[in-house]
Homo-oligomer: A and B are copies of this chain.
Amino acid sequence: MGRPVEPFVDHELVDHHCHGLVGRDLTRPEFESMITEAEHPGPPGTTLFDSQIGFALRRWCAPVLDLPAHAAPEDYLERRAELGHAEVHRRLLRACGITTFCVDAGFQPEPLTSAAELAELAGGRGVDVVRLERVAEQAAVDVITGQIGMTHLADTVRARLESTRPTMVAVKSVAAYRGGLELPAQRPTDREVAAAARGWIHEIRAGAPIRLTDPTLHAFLIWCGVDARLPIQIHVGYGDSDIDLRRGNPLLLTGLLRAIAPTEVSVLLLHCYPFHREAGYLAQVFPNIYLDLGLAIHNCGRGSAGLLAQALELAPFGKFLFSTDAFALGELYLLGAVLFRRGLSAFLAAGVADDAWTAADAKRVARLICADNARRVYNLYNPP
Chain A residues with CB under 8 Å of chain B are 36-43, 45-48, 50-52, 54-56, 58-59, 69-70, 238, 240-241, 244-246, 249, 251-252, 254-255, 258, 261, 264, 266, 273-274, 277-278, 281, 284-288, 296, 299-304, 306-307, 309-310, 312-319, 351, 354-358, 361, 364-365, 368, 376
Contact = CB atoms under 8 A, between A and B. Distances in A.
A280 B251 CA distance: 21
A272 B229 CA distance: 36
B254 A316 contact: no
30 contacts: A36-B284, A37-B285, A38-B287, A40-B287, A41-B287, A43-B288, A45-B376, A46-B318, A46-B319, A46-B376, A47-B316, A47-B318, A50-B316, A50-B317, A50-B318, A51-B314, A51-B315, A51-B317, A52-B314, A59-B355, A59-B357, A245-B278, A245-B281, A246-B249, A246-B252, A274-B281, A300-B314, A302-B357, A303-B309, A303-B312
A357 B71 CA distance: 10
A361 to B, nearest CB: 7
Nearest to A275: B274
A240 B42 contact: no
Contacts of A51: 284, 314-317
A313 B278 CA distance: 18
Given A36-B316, A284-B299, A299-B314, 6 more contacts: A45-B318, A46-B318, A55-B356, A70-B357, A238-B314, A303-B313
A252 B278 CA distance: 17
Contacts of A274: 277-278, 281
A45 B315 CA distance: 15
Contacts of A356: 55-56, 59, 301-302
B288 A300 contact: no
Contacts of A41: 287
A264 to B, nearest CB: 7
Contacts of A358: 70
B285 A50 contact: no
A58 B364 CA distance: 15
Nearest to A257: B241
A46 to B, nearest CB: 3
Given A245-B254, A278-B245, A368 B50 contact: yes
B361 A55 contact: yes
Contacts of A39: 285, 287
A103 to B, nearest CB: 24
Contacts of A355: 59, 69
A255 B245 CA distance: 11
Contacts of A54: 316
Nearest to A339: B356
Nearest to A185: B244
Nearest to A301: B356
Given A246-B251, A356-B302, A358-B70, A285 B45 contact: no
A285 B241 contact: yes
B299 A52 contact: no
Contacts of A264: 43
A365 B306 contact: no
Nearest to A288: B43
A306 B310 CA distance: 9
A258 B241 contact: yes
A208 to B, nearest CB: 18
Nearest to A280: B274
B318 A52 contact: no
